[in-house]
Amino acid sequence: MNGKELLFAVLERRDAPRAPWVPYAGVHAGKLIGAKAKDILQDADLLYQALLEVNRLYRPDGQPVLFDMQMEAEVLGCELLWADFAPPSIDSHPLEENKEVPCDCSIPGKTDGRIPLALDVMRRMKAAVGDTTALYGLTTGPLTLASHLRGVNLFRDLRKDPEYARALIDYCVKVNLAMTGYYIEAGMDVIAPVDPMVSQISPGDFEKYLHEGYAAIFTFIRGKGAYSSFFVCGDATRNIEAMCRTNPDCIAVDENIDMGTAKAITDNFNIVLSGNIPLSSVMMYGTQQDNMKYVVDLLDGLGHRNLIVAPGCDMPYDIPVENTVAAAQAVCETEQVREMVENYESAGDEIDVELPDYARLPRPLIEAYTLDSATCAACTYMWATVREAKARFGDRIDIVEYKYTERINIARCKKAGVRKLPSIYVNGELKYSSLIPDKDELFAVIEALL
């Protein structure tokens, strides 16, 4: 049974000798060939070369071809900020001040923007490794795409103009269906709508705005003979059951979600769970042994049935190659690796962090703890709301972002007791945990302090 056959067996809920391994090497693929992130995402030859190196080094059972949740938004009018070592970020929202729903004639076509690049590389990867490796086509989920188009105002719309919010999200479902069709035609085996913003809404809002659309997406994928993986970031624990009810083959989660809790829910629906090796604390700043032990402990705790082992999300550019190789070895050679790390204990993080003296602050302090507002959509819009507060109150408040991608902030999160990302603390007190606030609510909190 090769890697592709193994992954298919798991997605079909059949017995398999081990859990599959799917490294989400998006911009990290560029590191393997010495190319910048912005270059591999705009040059088909470089991207193809980088993906072949991912396949050679990390021995994946499945791998994504492109991890760029801004591609559809770029076609639809969002301006992008390009980076050397991270995916592009959204720099403008065409519907931010213009409450409209794009017409169906604006749905991206196969020749628009960078879509031809994606389809070209998908076809090349299918020809090169498609017989032995399952290939993932990642699309931008409807709620996240709607937030790219509308900005933080979308979260006010969900509460104050639900008719408009539903119409815009329904349009984004149509975009997703179109992209899904293109990717399956190009040979993708697994279609993964990536919707990090799902962690920012309630189960009631999921049912109201997303259930019907996602059910249609997964029905469409299944009808085309492909598999599906519903990819969410952040603490979406409260929505896992609602996600299962849309009937995907798999649900993929990051380190904000307890895998045991999530798997109890997905097992109840006989749906595969994928995740969730921590990107920063383990893959970026841990040792090879840390990565091996995390994977072995994950497998020992959950078993390998209905499980795919993967990083929690898109791998940062500079994750050490040896750490990813170690994780791959732990998945593929678990018994051998278990013996290697049997008595291993992590040295832990010895960085000493001094927290602010919250009782003696000269003015209100808003602290945003994020994965990274430049690369995490939920973090982007939470930090944008904090920046709007700064624009409103000016020098009367202080704001700061602590990115979990920086080693010192991992230690800071531990010392401050931060449990979920992204979160907003005001004067040292948790106010919003994995939930983007309405800016008026945040303004009211600040006004009360002033």
What are the backbone dihedrals phi and psi of residue 235, each rounded to the nearest 5 degrees, phi first? -85, 85
Query: What is residue 348's predicted lDDT score, i.e. its pLDDT?
Result: 66
* Strand spans (E) along 26-97: 62-64, 80-81, 89-90
Are residue 284 and residue 386 in the same domain, yes or no? Answer: no
Query: What is residue 202's predicted lDDT score, i.e. its pLDDT?
Result: 94
On whether residue 352 sits in a domain, the answer given is no
On whether residue 333 sits in a domain, the answer given is yes
> Are the C-beta atoms of 325 and 39 separated by less than 8 Å?
no
| 222-243 pLDDT tens trace | 999 999 999 999 999 999 999 9
Which residue range(s) make up the domain with 427?
Answer: 358-449
User: What are 398's strand-pairing partners?
Assistant: 365
Are residue 429 and residue 300 in the same domain, yes or no? Answer: no
| 373-431 pLDDT tens trace | 887 888 888 899 999 999 999 999 999 999 988 889 988 988 999 988 889 999 999 99
Are residue 302 and residue 372 in the same domain, yes or no? Answer: no
Q: Which of 308, 340, 372 is the last residue of a domain?
A: 340
CATH classification at residue 39:
3.20.20.210
On whether residue 42 sits in a domain, the answer given is yes
- Best CA proximity match to 182, nearest among 78, 79, 109, 97: 109
Which tokens go with 406?
């920086």
CATH classification at residue 380:
3.40.30.10
What are the backbone dihedrals phi and psi of residue 434, each rounded to the nearest 5 degrees, phi first? 50, 45
Are residue 327 and residue 391 in the same domain, yes or no? Answer: no
> Are the C-beta atoms of 190 and 135 separated by less than 8 Å?
yes
CA distances from 369 to 42, 163, 331, 409, 435 (A): 31, 32, 31, 8, 12
How confident is the prediction for the chain on average, in pLDDT?
95
- Best CA proximity match to 421, nearest among 375, 363, 364, 357: 375
Query: What is residue 393's predicted lDDT score, i.e. its pLDDT?
Result: 96
Low pLDDT (below 70) residues in the chain: 348-349
- Best CA proximity match to 235, nearest among 24, 421, 432: 421
Q: Which of 311, 340, 369 is the last residue of a domain?
A: 340
Are residue 313 and residue 366 in the same domain, yes or no? Answer: no
Q: Which of 309, 340, 371 is the last residue of a domain?
A: 340
User: What are 135's strand-pairing partners?
Assistant: 63
Are residue 428 and residue 327 in the same domain, yes or no? Answer: no
On whether residue 346 sits in a domain, the answer given is no
On whether residue 348 sits in a domain, the answer given is no
Are residue 211 and residue 247 in the same domain, yes or no? Answer: yes
Are residue 21 and residue 151 in the same domain, yes or no? Answer: yes
On whether residue 310 sits in a domain, the answer given is yes
Its sign, for the CA torsion 174, 179, 184, 188, is negative
Phi/psi region, residue 36 (left: phi>0; alpha: psi -120 to 50; beta: rest), is: beta
Are residue 276 and residue 386 in the same domain, yes or no? Answer: no
Are residue 35 and residue 133 in the same domain, yes or no? Answer: yes
Tokens 């919707």 belong to: 195
Are residue 53 and residue 105 in the same domain, yes or no? Answer: yes
Domain tally for the chain?
Answer: 2
On whether residue 350 sits in a domain, the answer given is no
Are residue 334 and residue 405 in the same domain, yes or no? Answer: no
On whether residue 349 sits in a domain, the answer given is no
Cα separation, 370 vs 379, in Å, equals 6
